[in-house]
Homo-oligomer: A and B are copies of this chain.
Amino acid sequence: MSTERPLILVTNDDGITAPGIRHLIKIMKQIGDVIVVAPDSPQSGMGHAITLNDNLYCDPLQLKEEENHQEYSCSGTPADCVKIAKQEILHRKPDLCVSGINHGSNSSINVIYSGTMSAAVEAGTEGIPAIGFSLLDYSLSANFEPTTKFIKSITNNVLENGLPEGVVLNVNFPKLEEKEIKGIKVCRQAKAHWVEKFDKRTNPQGRDYYWLTGEFINEDKGEDTDEWALKNGYVSLVPVQFDLTAHHTLKELNNWNLND
């Protein structure tokens, strides 16, 4: 690592005013020079959405004089924020992109729905080391203090070691006090899924509509998974790749009679 302070892009999916990103900004300002480009409104569950059929606004915020960093509020998705930050706002490629701290879990299969992780993945595709942080507490008044020590440790490790090519980190925190947390555990994504339940209602005009809800089902008993780590008092750290090829199945599929 050079003696220059690292340039750190901060974003999230809960919106630029969410307590989680405010906590993350505070930590990152102790480590490097911070620029924030985050959604102007909540974007939970946006997956890796990008804005193709609408225009994007991205406006600088007026911060208090004592703040020595810049923030931009963007009308788009988390992935849009990373794209516009890189092309239109930052004067050089950042040394790191951090996303979060999300209000709620992005462990296991939640990674594919996660706006928080989509920002990290987007940065990863552009060759920027990236980490998504999430706390297993959906409350707006969640206590983010216990995450501080671990976020610093993981961030410093990434700045020192870099990340393997094509990989970003998905970090989840249990809802515990700092002294209750046993440490950071490198994990694999648990094999779990959601069983949806739709809450069916009728609007005042007589038309039926639905609210999506659901139950998280984890059948994966492995002690090397993120779900196990979180349940047992650890911070989970999963290396996430965006080459989605199931390489182990290529041989089997080549035996199919596709071209007969």
- By a beta-carbon cutoff of 8 Å, the part of chain A in contact with chain B is 42, 44-53, 55-59, 76, 79-80, 83-84, 86-88, 109, 111-113, 118, 121, 125-127, 153-154, 157, 161, 164, 166-167, 170, 183-184, 186, 188-189, 191, 193-194, 196-198, 200-201, 207-212, 214, 237-250, 252-254, 256-260
Assembled-state Cα–Cα distance A201/B58 (Å): 12
Contacts of A214 in B (CB 8 A): 83
How many copies make up the complex?
A: 2
Contacts of A243 in B (CB 8 A): 188-189, 191
Contacts of A80 in B (CB 8 A): 212
Contacts of A260 in B (CB 8 A): 153
Distance in Å: Cβ of A15 to nearest Cβ of chain B: 11
Contact of A211 among B55, B246, B250 (CB under 8 A): B55
Known: A196-B87, A246-B166, A246-B167. A121 touches B125 (CB 8 A): no
Q: Is the CB of B45 within 8 A of A154?
A: no
Q: Is the CB of B109 within 8 A of A56?
A: no
Assembled-state Cα–Cα distance A88/B197 (Å): 9
Assembled-state Cα–Cα distance A55/B198 (Å): 10
Q: Is the CB of A47 within 8 A of B46?
A: yes
